[in-house]
Structure 1
């Protein structure tokens, strides 16, 4: 038992291996993100090449450290996804997200019973394989959305919430499957993770509404009455926001882990709570400028300014020593600037972004590569079954995109005006000029509102015929005819990643996939485990690759539309690209 770890300088081979590993993780990621928006695939392949499945240049101890640091990166990726959550969009699309999630769970599990014919699997083995393939990789989802710029769009909200629900169910499956091999399955094993997950999703919002919001409003009033108080100065510091945000994240993750539910769900809830506090709760700067004016604010005159002699002086809230004394309380603009620097996204960008994007996130995707038994997967009987099962599992997630298919251009029935508004007029250029719609959800100027504003409620006489009819169409963003939104959703849901590997590895080690594999020795993997691994690997590769190609196509279409300055008047993503 050593009292300390002896310090030894690493040899040059270790230094070169680690240097090349870390540099290539970032270089390959940047190159593939620029081309296909899926740099994570290169990081997975580098994990295979440098790790145990490939060259074994990284020692087992280094791989274990990379896995542990990578999981920290996964937690922070999910936390960042919570920070970008729009609660208005989440509430408006909650039932849609639930429908997408249920579809993404039910179809893979149902289709997995085809393994009974492919591999003579038992119903329990087929169910366990479906449980591994019903999950959606949260790390892959958030990374793809960030690279494509869709994180805060309506499509991104539906995708992240559905992927989170799928993973919660997947992590519940881990608890169930870990007890299937021992035969001690009881109802409490199934019910407890579900109830705890529901409790976190219900109790935390209630605590925010009845505790956090009243406390914030009380502090707002206290700071307005006592602008020079020490607590006001402390609350304006970015370091204070960092400490509070980090404490909330650590507390929820720790509580969820000990309670028996997903720590990734807790990380997402922590980010969502901070996003809610930033956007839905009034802050001192916003209160002082719009809702409850600060009686002290506005007394300090800038240097060189002269007060109007005819303007009556308002009484000071507190006695002052002299009439020319300047109050040191920050101005409204200073408060608003302080509020912006203490938001969750600003704190994350300042304190976490570089470490996550350059080290922790690459380590996470490389650790997925460590888990792929490449040398044992290329038997002919395993390859063709793995390809067939991967195709079936891809289809099992692609059906999720059907929830986003829309055919009407606006609400209501197909009235004559709606049908005319759907006509394509290739010869009529947009009279308001070049479209400014972007992939991030920015919409072009509505011609109906533009005409009304310019002519006092009467359509502009420059627009006649069918164009005038079009200008009277529904003011809401039109729903797209294209299949790009459902395709992006379906492909993003296809990636399985870390949760799939976790469930399949637990099923294998517990003897669910093979009755002889009860010792946890993975040196002789069962055929079902290898086929499931094939499906997870191919889906994790094809999903982000397909999303990258689709996003690239959407960007090209929008650039073409902006250059031509004419078209149908619809965004490529329609309502799904709106923030």
Structure 2
């Protein structure tokens, strides 16, 4: 893919037909593989990873290196948009209410893989302690991008026919969740715990790849303060009244109302681009993760309006984000991100002697080490039941016995995928330290890659079988807002970082 450079400009020329056909086949296979993976195993993201393996360095090396670098950069933009959307759509009230539970889940997800790694690699296979620690920390990660894509895919494909309104609590009252005709799993309690635990995992592992946790912590503390005392009052005073716009009830015809809404969507998009760019720059120059910056930017934007909905069925900023980025993000950038994971897998080095069986065993152990995170769900249910027996619980419409195995299984399975974060950490361990051997690197890559495949497959199977049950679950499913005027982001009330929307 060479081009002649003249003075001051790049010469325009007709691309080689081989290059054109290669790109056409690459994008065609991305789309077809995504569809096949979704229909066969319920995890569409596996298809692009396989295509990345075949077209990239690991196996076929069909794409030119410059193209692979370009697609990696474009895919990372897709990842940033995925995570920004996660922050934009997350329930801030549920995030605040369940922050302690998310911290516990994240702590289990970090410590258990390290402990299991030392038991298997250090005590059982006599790997060096520092090598074992590097492998364990790379398997502590949770792919936030994969997690959010799984929730989004589940939400877009869910169309439950079950009549939620027929379900009643033991005391005869209706449960505290809305009907689930088309469930957005990011609005469920278990989805909120899952996303926030994955974010905390990413932040807590920052020191391993040279990112000071202090920078991330300061961003997490300062963002709610800036939103509450600066950005939110300004937005509600100057932007929100204008962007809410006229309605047909105010005497304007539908065409003028539609034109006004389109203008408002453009303004919303520009605000999101500016805020996201600012957060990415701050995170990068402060030494924090840009992915964490993207998530904070989404939460920051979501906290600006007085209410989450601008009108019936219209959510502030979400419609504009979907309208202007949905096509490119869903059909181009997101598949390129997962294909770039395939580019980074050292496929040929994995098939050497004992590396194979150790890699498979380590994979299963690491899958278990993350699935154990789901134990926080039944434990929380038992604690709630104990408080209810003592008469301290306020939620009287909850069932008498905890029934949280389905949400617990979803939480554990969705934490299994390591993805881009795991590959990043283990490659830094190989290239920038003398402690990780090639054999240890290959064993770790086995676990990262297979877990990135196993996790989404398990989530797809779970959602097909028990998705409606999870969505209807009184404690862990879709929750009605106790009030539409208050949302909180930040701490659990103990660190003072709280943002209230009034």
TM range (shorter): 0.7 to 0.9
Question: Is the contact between residue 480 and residue 573 of structure 1 (CA under 8 Å) also seen in structure 2?
Answer: no
Q: CA separation in 1, counterparts of 2:428 and 2:240?
A: 53
Listed one character per residue, the Cα deviations across residues 35-80 of structure 1 (whole Å, up to 9, x for unaligned) are 4331111111111011111111111111111101000000000001
Measured after TM superposition, the shift of residue 265 of structure 1 is: 0.4
Question: Is the contact between residue 52 and residue 343 of structure 2 (CA under 8 Å) also seen in structure 1?
Answer: yes
Q: Give 1:346's aligned residue.
A: 319
Measured after TM superposition, the shift of residue 482 of structure 1 is: 5.0
Structure 1: gaps spanning 5 or more residues? 176-191, 228-232, 287-334, 416-472, 515-524, 559-569
Distance of aligned partners of 1:402 and 1:527 in 2 relative to their CA distance in 1, 3 Å threshold? same
Measured after TM superposition, the shift of residue 28 of structure 1 is: 2.0
Q: Give 1:156's aligned residue.
A: 191
Q: CA separation in 2, counterparts of 1:221 and 1:344?
A: 11
Question: Is the contact between residue 91 and residue 186 of structure 2 (CA under 8 Å) also seen in structure 1?
Answer: no
Q: Give 1:577's aligned residue.
A: 477
> Does 2:87 match 1:82?
yes
> Does 2:33 match 1:111?
no
With normalisation by structure 1, the TM-score equals: 0.68
Q: Give 1:499's aligned residue.
A: 421
Question: Is the contact between residue 478 and residue 574 of structure 1 (CA under 8 Å) also seen in structure 2?
Answer: no
Q: Give 2:126's aligned residue.
A: 120
> Does 2:157 match 1:146?
no
Larger radius of gyration: 1
- For 1:156-555, list aligned pairs within 5 A: 156-175=191-210, 193-219=212-238, 237-278=264-305, 281=306, 336=311, 340=314, 343-405=316-378, 411=385, 474-476=396-398, 480-514=402-436, 526-555=438-467
Q: Give 2:496's aligned residue.
A: none
Listed one character per residue, the Cα deviations across residues 440-459 of structure 1 (whole Å, up to 9, x for unaligned) are xxxxxxxxxxxxxxxxxxxx
Question: Is the contact between residue 513 and residue 529 of structure 1 (CA under 8 Å) also seen in structure 2?
Answer: no
Q: Give 1:322's aligned residue.
A: none
Question: Is the contact between residue 385 and residue 401 of structure 2 (CA under 8 Å) also seen in structure 1?
Answer: no
Listed one character per residue, the Cα deviations across residues 174-201 of structure 1 (whole Å, up to 9, x for unaligned) are 11xxxxxxxxxxxxxxxx7111101100
Question: Is the contact between residue 196 and residue 261 of structure 1 (CA under 8 Å) also seen in structure 2?
Answer: yes
> Partner of 2:476: helix, strand, or coil?
helix
Distance of aligned partners of 1:119 and 1:512 in 2 relative to their CA distance in 1, 3 Å threshold? farther
Question: Is the contact between residue 36 and residue 47 of structure 2 (CA under 8 Å) also seen in structure 1?
Answer: no
Instruction: Provide the alpha-carbon RMSD of the alignment.
Output: 3.0
Measured after TM superposition, the shift of residue 572 of structure 1 is: 6.0
Measured after TM superposition, the shift of residue 412 of structure 1 is: 5.4
Measured after TM superposition, the shift of residue 248 of structure 1 is: 0.1
Structure 2: gaps spanning 5 or more residues? 156-184, 247-259, 390-394, 480-502
Question: Is the contact between residue 102 and residue 196 of structure 2 (CA under 8 Å) also seen in structure 1?
Answer: yes
Measured after TM superposition, the shift of residue 399 of structure 1 is: 1.1
Q: CA separation in 1, counterparts of 2:241 and 2:328?
A: 37
> Partner of 2:20: helix, strand, or coil?
helix
How many residue pairs get matched? 426
Question: Is the contact between residue 472 and residue 478 of structure 2 (CA under 8 Å) also seen in structure 1?
Answer: no
Question: Is the contact between residue 90 and residue 158 of structure 1 (CA under 8 Å) also seen in structure 2?
Answer: yes
Measured after TM superposition, the shift of residue 9 of structure 1 is: 1.8
Q: 399-408 vs 133-142, which deviates more?
A: 399-408
Listed one character per residue, the Cα deviations across residues 3-46 of structure 1 (whole Å, up to 9, x for unaligned) are 33233322222222211211221222133224433111111111
Question: Is the contact between residue 409 and residue 479 of structure 1 (CA under 8 Å) also seen in structure 2?
Answer: no
Distance of aligned partners of 1:236 and 1:2 in 2 relative to their CA distance in 1, 3 Å threshold? closer
Distance of aligned partners of 1:576 and 1:223 in 2 relative to their CA distance in 1, 3 Å threshold? closer
> Partner of 1:43: helix, strand, or coil?
helix
Q: Give 1:456's aligned residue.
A: none
Q: Give 1:134's aligned residue.
A: 140
With normalisation by structure 2, the TM-score equals: 0.78
